[in-house]
Amino acid sequence: MALLETSKHCQGSVLGSVNPDLGSERQTASFCVERLTALLDGGAEQTRIRRAVVEAIESDPIFSRENQYFQTQNERYEAAVRKAVHLQKKMHEMGWTENGPEYKYIYRALSGDVAFLLHRVFMRSISVLGSDRQVAKWIPLATQHKLIGSYAQTELGHGTYLQGLETTAVFDTATQEFILNTPRISAMKWWPGDMGRSATHTVVFAQLYIHGKCYGIHPFIVQIRSLQDHSLCPGVTAGDIGPKMNFEHIDNGYLLLKNVHVPRENMLSKFCEVRPDGTYVRQGSQQINYFTMTSVRISLISDEVLTPLQKACTIAIRYSVVRRQSKLKPGEQEAKILDYQTQQEKLLPQLAAVYAFHFTNDYLQELFDKGYREIQRKNFDMLPELHALSSGFKAMITQHCTAGVEICLRACGGHGYSLLSGLPSLYTKILASCIYEGENTILLLQTARFLIKCFMAASAGQPVPPSVTYLAAVKHGKCPAKNKLDFLSPDIYTEAYQHVAVRLTSSTAAKLQDLIQSGVKKHDAWNQCTVQLVQAAKAHCHYIAVKNFAETVEKLETKAGIQKIMKHLCDLFALHGIFSNTGAFLHDGYTSAAQMDMVTAAYLDLLAVIRKDAVPLVDAFDFTDKSLNSALGSYDGQVYQRLYEWAQKSPTNQMSPAYERYLKPLLHNTLSKL
Amino acid sequence: MALLETSKHCQGSVLGSVNPDLGSERQTASFCVERLTALLDGGAEQTRIRRAVVEAIESDPIFSRENQYFQTQNERYEAAVRKAVHLQKKMHEMGWTENGPEYKYIYRALSGDVAFLLHRVFMRSISVLGSDRQVAKWIPLATQHKLIGSYAQTELGHGTYLQGLETTAVFDTATQEFILNTPRISAMKWWPGDMGRSATHTVVFAQLYIHGKCYGIHPFIVQIRSLQDHSLCPGVTAGDIGPKMNFEHIDNGYLLLKNVHVPRENMLSKFCEVRPDGTYVRQGSQQINYFTMTSVRISLISDEVLTPLQKACTIAIRYSVVRRQSKLKPGEQEAKILDYQTQQEKLLPQLAAVYAFHFTNDYLQELFDKGYREIQRKNFDMLPELHALSSGFKAMITQHCTAGVEICLRACGGHGYSLLSGLPSLYTKILASCIYEGENTILLLQTARFLIKCFMAASAGQPVPPSVTYLAAVKHGKCPAKNKLDFLSPDIYTEAYQHVAVRLTSSTAAKLQDLIQSGVKKHDAWNQCTVQLVQAAKAHCHYIAVKNFAETVEKLETKAGIQKIMKHLCDLFALHGIFSNTGAFLHDGYTSAAQMDMVTAAYLDLLAVIRKDAVPLVDAFDFTDKSLNSALGSYDGQVYQRLYEWAQKSPTNQMSPAYERYLKPLLHNTLSKL
């Protein structure tokens, strides 16, 4: 290959200098990239710690993901287990602890490509749901990896609706044991991570029966594999559920239980206990359970949802200044594809959204911390609002970011479709976030239920939580904007979003009441409003996201150009939402057609403004080449060389038996007939 | 497993009777399913032929796709080559010929999972672009598989913009040869199917140079591998481009050429010839080339785009009547998820769309046939319209159907995410259709260019092609609907779509003119309008699709309930488009807010109506279980058994070395410390 400098380690290697088409984009940044990185990290000290963790992980070849796109499901699983085991050693070596400041960066640095993630859920569920004695017994065993835990809730036939779970746990007073069964195929536990091949124990959720009476769903610690030779325990059938769209590294499993006995002490009993005589005792508040789901939904946003979209934006935007296609001006060289308005319109709103949601996440985290402090003081008042916001934003942000990653993928044309671009795996992974931890439509309907309740209360003059007080103040005005520049005023667009959220909530509440008053049964009426209820919930979340972004920008430091560029992104996020959803704003005439044309003009103008800072804005996410694992997204922009070098390493470039077996007979058979 | 009847061949086996939750859906069909199938096939005789082909293919184990989801890229490639070779034999046995009525069903019956598809493109390009002598030489060789052909146009750095291709072919009068080179890495041919490992020959597109002058892109037949031992020819470097999001069975390849010599006779010379002395002669019309692209874009719609969405709808709708989740009414059993309005709103519009596009495809095919007849009479007048429609519809239908498959996947929750559902591979494959044969945004802009041109002509009173005459008749009326039932009138909604298409085209044309008049250069002005031009092109296609569906329904037989159910689907297709895009209809007040509320009400009512026939409507697509290859979509609806039986066959359920290597030391190490 005289054509190019071939390097042995395409991913780690410096292939040469930075592609000048990419380099030039960095010359003209309107803000200080390093300072924006620090803002995103929560301070320069956090940036320093994060980089140290990334450096330590990425310099260790055991954590390499270089071959990931070439590996089978079995190879991925094995590598993930190896990494999980090695991580224990690494943490010890580095002096990292589970409570240290480095901990939260480890998972991100590994890009989640590690086993035993459910082991942590196993531990958390015991900590939250177990009695002090249970915590004292199991947590040290788990911490020291004397067992490997999983968490078995979802069944083949049952997901979100927990009351429908079919697994049973019957208490036998004679033996002081629970007898667990999955009585039908639909009751089989299905999906739990780490359970297909690794776990020795799991927390099983089952319907508790005592003396023939059902007490509902309770958690039980069940050993499923021998600690000596890993064989399945008596009565247990378990295995791997096979190939999925992503998560090849995780052994999502199935579990059948046939008369499996566990001692009475294995029911997690912080809140409910079964006494030796079969007496069922409920103790303490179960509201904390509710809080746990909230906590999980908020915590997944950052690592599982925002990071993938940040990576996708980085890859697609860097590629879009390196790729040249067609001529924008006659006689000139082919243009960078990011100079086309249509390409800007695909990518820049995704960039604005990922910044918007970064600040939404901060907002939720703060609210959550406040809620947690209140709960510790036995005040549960914030829970309904927290639940509604965490459900709605989990749904909205996963939905928006999944669509965003797909847009980035498509915007890279054919090369985006190659696994080596990194984009397909980002997409297939983030897609799952729309489904797990509560299916999005169901979550939005929970938010909507809260909204309708609060709207009714507010209409009746009753107090409502802070995030929904706006529902009380229904204004019937018109949007006051007079020209396109007015739409760069946060007051103008925030008010417009608020107006839409109120309108959709109030009109759906009215439809619901009308139906009920006309004699439709309550549950039927609710079902007939669900499409519109989902719209209302989305509008509510969108309003809060816009308002929060605008308020955040207001408070930013004005130095180093940070506030200015964030203001542009905030405007773009808001105007893109209006431009993509004009009907909601036009419907009752709050916004006129002439104003909508101003929105369009202001929105398209903004694209051209932000395009100039597009590369610095993705550079600020501070991803290393190894963490992007993408031939299109590397810092130096040497796209074509990377694609070529990397493709040559594919197992498909080793000799295939297909030639000897099929092609040679085909070609030679006919040749011999000549 | 006493729990369930285990069968050796999960896919082909009859696991038992039809799931009663699915069976009951078939009892109440409002129309004759068999008659609808015949309508879709184009007659009962076509249905018979299709079924015979499917039966012959599916009963042959070599064509089985049962293990597809478990196979590596190498295994998929090998199986596809084996199938391609076996297919020759099969066709001979069955008496099928390339011109016979069975031929078009073979590819569909194989679900495209076969090699040498580019061999056919190789042959077609020689037939279309080659001289009579070239056709006489190469076509028999290709037909008898004395060589395996590919088609090398796209380069690593160049796609849609053909003028930008960098590969060169320099004519050497001394040797009467062309010398081919890929002078830079970005000039490397990249993506051609069958080229990575199989092909012996390919048609290479290169810039022709004679005596230092460039004559633009021309096609050359180049041998790349030995016919004796398949080794690469001198000067040729070729291989596989590695893993992609799908198409694992295809060896998409790369090709580097370094001073590769081909004889003068190898330039395809139907339209252009290089004489021995280097004289360049252009002969005949090249417009037919243009027509070839049109032909490919139309032909891909049926097999590559509509079939996947039909399959996805079949899988998701059957699953949605088998899956029960939560209670719709207190005290009853859990409800079928298709009984939730939100689930209907996800799936039923996709069903309506796939029927709508089936008829759009008929319309395009008819127009194409007419155009072809005209061209044979040397009349090229229809070409611009055909090009605009085929470009716009290729983009619109691929976009719409890709989004539809994704919606179906997500609507199946966790199980949709399992490869065994069949949905992930349908999605990852159809996604490519948005990119290949012209990237969608670029195609829509070509349609828009035609629209603007015709709008200008029509405004000036000049004649325009039939599909755009409506642009001349700009009406400034209002939508006359008075209640929600009026929106079930095709005249009402077709007119509304027409109004929007005219408004978007005329307003964008006005913006373009304003910009140019204000001094902006023409190409800059165009770029600044492209986001809106894309909207106009989409609105035009959407209007034609709605109008054509309504006109088709009008002509259907009224017997057997066919017309009635198709009318419902037509209404749903039209109203879903309005409901999802209200701003376009509200913008200038053509539709009022009150009317939009009627649209919403009519739309939601229709969902409940069509829901009753949802299963019969997908049954009419007449997919066998083997062709769906889905644990969720089988005709008998035994979802959970299939998932369980199939998962157990996954290679991930064989012993993994991970236990001995990593888990055992981890667990025992710590156990030994006890």
> The whole model's pTM is what?
0.96
Q: Which residues of B touch A529 (CB under 8 A)?
A: 341
pLDDT digits (tens, 9 = 90+) for B95-124: 999 889 999 999 999 999 999 999 999 999
In this prediction, residue A474 carries a pLDDT of 67
Backbone angles phi, psi at B257, to 5 degrees: -120, 130
pLDDT digits (tens, 9 = 90+) for A411-444: 999 999 999 999 999 999 999 999 999 999 999 9
User: Within 13 A of B124's CA, how many CA atoms are on the CB side?
Assistant: 15
In this prediction, residue A68 carries a pLDDT of 96
Q: CB within 8 A of B167, min separation 6: which ones? A: B155, B180, B181, B182, B183, B187, B189, B204, B205, B206, B207, B257
Cα(B429)–Cα(B532) distance, integer angstroms: 29
Closest residue in A to B116 (Cα–Cα) = A663
Which has the closest alpha carbon to A454: A364, A346, A537?
Answer: A537
Cα(A489)–Cα(B415) distance, integer angstroms: 45
Q: Cβ separation of A666 and B85 shorter than 8 Å? A: yes
Q: Which residues of B touch A62 (CB under 8 A)?
A: none
Q: Cβ separation of A527 and B328 shorter than 8 Å? A: yes
Cα(A591)–Cα(B587) distance, integer angstroms: 10
Q: Which residues of A touch B323 (CB under 8 A)?
A: 157
Q: What is the largest CA-CA distance in chain B?
A: 94
Q: Which residues of A touch B399 (CB under 8 A)?
A: none
Nearest-Cα distance to chain A for B613, in Å, is 19
Cα(B288)–Cα(B129) distance, integer angstroms: 9
Closest residue in B to A673 (Cα–Cα) = B146
- Whether the per-residue pLDDT at A555 is higher than 60: the answer is yes
Residue B122, class by beta-carbon neighbours within 10 Å (0-12 exposed, 13-18 middle, 19+ buried)? buried
Task: Give the DSSP H/E element, type plus range, for residue B139.
Answer: helix B132-143
Q: What is the CA radius of gyration of chain A?
A: 28
Cα(B62)–Cα(B55) distance, integer angstroms: 13
Other CB atoms closer than 10 Å to residue B199's CB: what's the count?
Answer: 29
Report yes or no: A90 at the B interface, CB cutoff 8 Å. no
ipTM of the complex: 0.96
Asked whether A276 and A177 are in contact (CB, 8 A), the reply is: no
Q: Does the annotation list A652 as a binding residue? A: no
In this prediction, residue B474 carries a pLDDT of 67
Q: Which residues of B touch A188 (CB under 8 A)?
A: 640, 644
Q: What is the mean pLDDT of residues B505-534?
A: 97
Annotated catalytic, A437?
A: yes
Asked whether B440 and B399 are in contact (CB, 8 A), the reply is: yes
Among B341, B436, B665, beta carbon nearest to A527? B341
Closest residue in A to B327 (Cα–Cα) = A161
Among A254, A327, A663, beta carbon nearest to B230? A663
Q: What is the mean pLDDT of residues A655-668?
A: 86
Other CB atoms closer than 10 Å to residue B557's CB: what's the count?
Answer: 9
Q: What is the mean pLDDT of residues B613-620?
A: 98
- Whether the per-residue pLDDT at A8 is higher than 50: the answer is no
Among A1, A74, A524, beta carbon nearest to B656? A74
Q: Cβ separation of A414 and B85 shorter than 8 Å? A: no
3-state class (DSSP) for residue A622: coil
Report yes or no: B530 at the A interface, CB cutoff 8 Å. yes
3-state class (DSSP) for residue A181: strand
Q: Which residues of B touch A254 (CB under 8 A)?
A: 644, 647
Q: What is the largest CA-CA distance in chain A?
A: 94
- Whether the per-residue pLDDT at B11 is higher than 50: the answer is no
Q: CB within 8 A of B261, min separation 6: which ones? A: B175, B177, B178, B179, B180, B235
Specify the amino acid at residue B228: Q
Residue A202's DSSP bridge partners are A150, A222
Nearest-Cα distance to chain A for B35, in Å, is 33
- Whether the per-residue pLDDT at A516 is higher than 50: the answer is yes
Report yes or no: A240 at the B interface, CB cutoff 8 Å. yes
- Whether the per-residue pLDDT at A4 is higher than 60: the answer is no
- Whether the per-residue pLDDT at A11 is higher than 70: the answer is no
Q: Cβ separation of B85 and A156 shorter than 8 Å? A: no
Specify the amino acid at residue B236: V
Other CB atoms closer than 10 Å to residue A45's CB: what's the count?
Answer: 11
Task: Return contacts of A294-298, CB within 8 angstroms, 24+ apart.
Answer: A294/A368, A294/A371, A294/A383, A294/A386, A294/A387, A294/A390, A295/A368, A296/A437, A297/A390, A297/A391, A297/A393, A297/A394, A297/A437, A297/A438, A297/A443, A298/A361, A298/A364, A298/A365, A298/A368, A298/A390, A298/A393, A298/A394
Q: CB within 8 A of B509, min separation 6: which ones? A: B452, B455, B456
Q: Cβ separation of A651 and B73 shorter than 8 Å? A: yes
- Between positions 270 and 299 of B, the ones with CB within 8 A of A are none
- Whether the per-residue pLDDT at A330 is higher than 90: the answer is no
- Whether the per-residue pLDDT at A655 is higher than 90: the answer is no
Report yes or no: B137 at the A interface, CB cutoff 8 Å. no
Q: Cβ separation of A667 and B147 shorter than 8 Å? A: yes
pLDDT digits (tens, 9 = 90+) for B512-526: 999 999 999 999 999
Q: Cβ separation of A659 and B230 shorter than 8 Å? A: yes
Residue B152's DSSP bridge partners are B204
Q: Cβ separation of B418 and A72 shorter than 8 Å? A: no
Per-residue pLDDT band for A205 (boundaries 50, 70, 90) equals: very high
Residue where the block lists tokens 């001006």: A329
Among A154, A160, A198, beta carbon nearest to B663? A198
Selected residue of B245, B323, B412, B611 to mutate for chain A interface (largest A Cβ count, 10 A): B245
Which has the closest alpha carbon to B205: B291, B125, B292?
Answer: B125
pLDDT digits (tens, 9 = 90+) for B471-494: 987 677 899 999 999 999 999 999
Strand order in the sheet with B253-257: B189-190, B253-257, B236-240
Cα(A130)–Cα(A132) distance, integer angstroms: 7
Number of Cβ pairs < 8 A linking chain A and chain B:
368
Task: Give the DSSP H/E element, type plus range, for residue A43.
Answer: none
What percentage of chain B reaches a pLDDT higher than 70?
96
Nearest-Cα distance to chain A for B256, in Å, is 9
pLDDT digits (tens, 9 = 90+) for B179-200: 999 999 999 999 999 999 999 9
Cα(A260)–Cα(A187) distance, integer angstroms: 15
Asked whether B253 and B233 are in contact (CB, 8 A), the reply is: no
Per-residue pLDDT band for B216 (boundaries 50, 70, 90) equals: very high
Cα(B117)–Cα(B584) distance, integer angstroms: 42
Which sequence positions of B are flagged as catalytic? 437
Specify the amino acid at residue A336: K
Among A70, A434, A596, beta carbon nearest to B587? A596
Asked whether B577 and B550 are in contact (CB, 8 A), the reply is: no
Per-residue pLDDT band for A473 (boundaries 50, 70, 90) equals: confident
In this prediction, residue B291 carries a pLDDT of 80
In this prediction, residue A642 carries a pLDDT of 97
Catalytic residue, chosen from A58, A177, A248, A437, is: A437
Among A4, A414, A432, beta carbon nearest to B435? A414
- H helices present in B180-331, as ranges: 287-300, 307-322
Backbone angles phi, psi at B475, to 5 degrees: -110, 145
Asked whether B32 and B24 are in contact (CB, 8 A), the reply is: no
Per-residue pLDDT band for B160 (boundaries 50, 70, 90) equals: confident
In this prediction, residue B6 carries a pLDDT of 34
pLDDT digits (tens, 9 = 90+) for A600-611: 999 999 999 999
Q: What is the dihedral of CA B619, B620, B621, B627, to 10 degrees?
A: 40
Cα(A641)–Cα(A266) distance, integer angstroms: 57
- Whether the per-residue pLDDT at B56 is higher than 50: the answer is yes
Cα(B642)–Cα(B60) distance, integer angstroms: 22
Q: Show binding-site residues of B.
A: 154, 193
| pLDDT, averaged across chain B | 94
Cα(A322)–Cα(A334) distance, integer angstroms: 11
Q: Cβ separation of B242 and A527 shorter than 8 Å? A: no
Cα(A164)–Cα(A183) distance, integer angstroms: 13
- Whether the per-residue pLDDT at A16 is higher than 80: the answer is no
Backbone angles phi, psi at A220, to 5 degrees: -130, 135
* Helix, strand counts (H, E) of chain B: 24, 11
In this prediction, residue B322 carries a pLDDT of 97
Q: Which residues of A touch B81 (CB under 8 A)?
A: 658, 662-663
Residue B179's DSSP bridge partners are B170, B261
Residue where the block lists tokens 């349609």: B447
Q: Cβ separation of A239 and B653 shorter than 8 Å? A: yes
Other CB atoms closer than 10 Å to residue A181's CB: what's the count?
Answer: 18
- Whether the per-residue pLDDT at B329 is higher than 90: the answer is no
Q: Show binding-site residues of B for FAD.
A: 154, 193
Measured over the CA atoms of residue A402, residue A404, residue A407 and residue A408, the dihedral's sign is negative
Q: What is the mean pLDDT of residues B381-397?
A: 96
Q: What is the dihedral of CA A120, A123, A129, A131, to 10 degrees?
A: -170
Cα(B433)–Cα(B410) distance, integer angstroms: 20
- Whether the per-residue pLDDT at B386 is higher than 50: the answer is yes
What tokens appear for B117 in the block?
A: 């598809």
Backbone angles phi, psi at B462, to 5 degrees: -85, 155
In this prediction, residue B520 carries a pLDDT of 97
Q: Does the annotation list A193 as a binding residue? A: yes
Q: Cβ separation of A410 and B600 shorter than 8 Å? A: no
In this prediction, residue A382 carries a pLDDT of 92
Q: Cβ separation of A643 and B241 shorter than 8 Å? A: yes
pLDDT digits (tens, 9 = 90+) for B261-279: 999 999 999 989 999 999 9
- H helices present in B518-561, as ranges: 522-555
Cα(B161)–Cα(A121) distance, integer angstroms: 52
- Whether the per-residue pLDDT at A285 is higher than 80: the answer is no
Report yes or no: A156 at the B interface, CB cutoff 8 Å. yes
Q: Which residues of B touch A256 (CB under 8 A)?
A: 1, 3
What tokens appear for B110 in the block?
A: 């194989």
Q: Which residues of B touch A242 (CB under 8 A)?
A: 69-70, 418-420, 646-647, 649-650, 652-653
Which has the closest alpha carbon to B526: A555, A433, A255, A341?
Answer: A341
- Whether the per-residue pLDDT at A654 is higher than 90: the answer is no
Residue A172's DSSP bridge partners are A177
3-state class (DSSP) for residue A402: helix
In this prediction, residue A576 carries a pLDDT of 98
| pLDDT, averaged across chain A | 94
Q: Which residues of A touch B185 (CB under 8 A)?
A: 3-4, 640-641, 644
Q: Cβ separation of B643 and A156 shorter than 8 Å? A: yes
Cα(A663)–Cα(B81) distance, integer angstroms: 8
Q: Cβ separation of A527 and B661 shorter than 8 Å? A: no
Per-residue pLDDT band for B54 (boundaries 50, 70, 90) equals: very high
